Structure 1
Amino acid sequence: MDQLAEADAVKDSKFLAGVLRHDPGKIGVTLDAAGWVDVDVLLAALKRRGRRIDRARLDFVVEHNNKKRFEYDESGARIRASQGHSVPVDLGYEPQDPPETLFHGTATRSLDSIFAEGLLPGGRHHVHLSVDVETAVKVGSRHGKPVVLVVAAARMRADGRAFFRSTNGVWLTEHVAPEYLSFAQPDSVGPPA
């Protein structure tokens, strides 16, 4: 994929994420209770609003999105965002046992509130956690100087907290209390000096 095509795919992906996670009304579509919308309805709405996304382009964006933000249903007739919604949806994910530890990337400026209140979902339904430090660093970098927090996920689960795993591998939970948090050890992502 050339750089121009990749840049266009990123723009289309971000636009679709905004629609399918936060504002389906922006283009005049409605999500069902599980976050699905018919592909034909989505494509027609995009066309009415001047967005040049046909089925082949949509397939390309879904397939090549490095974050795997979207999924088709088994028939390929419906699409939804895998996680990250601020609109009411029930994705139907079943609770799962998480790994021993998970990671959360954030900005150093957020640490005081995080260690006072824990990790909160903000405008989303869940706190998003990753299985590796590298992904957490990327997430934290989007918000400022990154820091990676280690989440004692297995201990949280043993204490009765629920975890869910989205189809794109992101771990989800409603809240991470401060007592389950510590700093990652790698030099480049530890606590601020």
Structure 2
Amino acid sequence: MPRRDTSISKAMSHALRHEPGAYGLELGSDGSVPLADLADALAQSGVEATVADLRRVVAESDKQRFAVEGDRIRAQYGHSTDERIVKPSIVPQPVLWHATSPAAAESILRDGLLPMGRQYAHLTTDRDLAMQAGRRKSPAPVLLRVDAARAHQEGVEFSEGHDRVTLALLVPARYISADDSRS
């Protein structure tokens, strides 16, 4: 991604995930705002971005952080705002993954997976994506396997982040194990 697009993407994340009020934005219940409002808000904060720039950044991003629907844009996951973003419930893939530091893994295996500073805990259907995310926490992350089929069957609610990210308010420890396989 070109440096300018990276700057735009980071500003979009800040505005749509963490501090919409700092940009004069009010998120809808689904976390969306009009594209034109976001472009104006970013410009006022010193980040020049047209609606076409925003659409391009969304279309060319491999991480699928954002979604554009009509004339509105939203972050798909990663929110830390006080107002909970409404996410529709889904039936998750049978196995989900989460990777983190050894210390955090120990806590998760004892207490369950919690959102921490975000609105939802993030899991993925992709082991490699989990490890990539885990490396942001530790050079040697622990890969955790979540028995999402059993958890869902027993009442744990899951929501869609996007096609490779699944969200949950809480995954109790009994559904989580350290993955020992090497692949």
Tell me the TM-score normalized by structure 1.
Answer: 0.86
Q: How does 1:172-183 map to 2 (within 5 A)?
A: 172-183=167-178
Letter in 2 for 1:29: L
Q: CA deviation at 1:96?
A: 2.0
Distance 1:121 1:115 in 2: 14
Question: Counterpart of 1:55?
Answer: 51
Q: 1:44 aligns with which of 30, 40, 43?
A: 40
How many residues are paired up?
181
Q: Please identify which structure carries the higher strand content.
A: 2
Q: CA deviation at 1:168?
A: 4.4
Contact 2:11–2:42 under 8 Å retained in 1: no
Q: CA deviation at 1:21?
A: 0.6
Question: What do you get for the CA RMSD once the two structures are aligned?
Answer: 1.7
Q: Percent identity?
A: 34
Q: 1:92 to 1:187 in 2, by over 3 A?
A: closer
- Stretches of structure 2 lacking an aligned partner (at least 5 in a row): none
Q: 2:131 aligns with which of 106, 131, 137?
A: 137
Q: CA deviation at 1:148?
A: 0.8
Contact 2:126–2:164 under 8 Å retained in 1: no
Q: 1:27 aligns with which of 23, 27, 30?
A: 23
Letter in 2 for 1:120: L
Distance 1:119 1:171 in 2: 13
Distance 2:163 2:63 in 1: 7
Contact 1:67–1:168 under 8 Å retained in 2: no
Question: Counterpart of 1:104?
Answer: 98
Q: 1:148 aligns with which of 143, 149, 165?
A: 143
Tell me the TM-score normalized by structure 2.
Answer: 0.91
- Stretches of structure 1 lacking an aligned partner (at least 5 in a row): 189-193
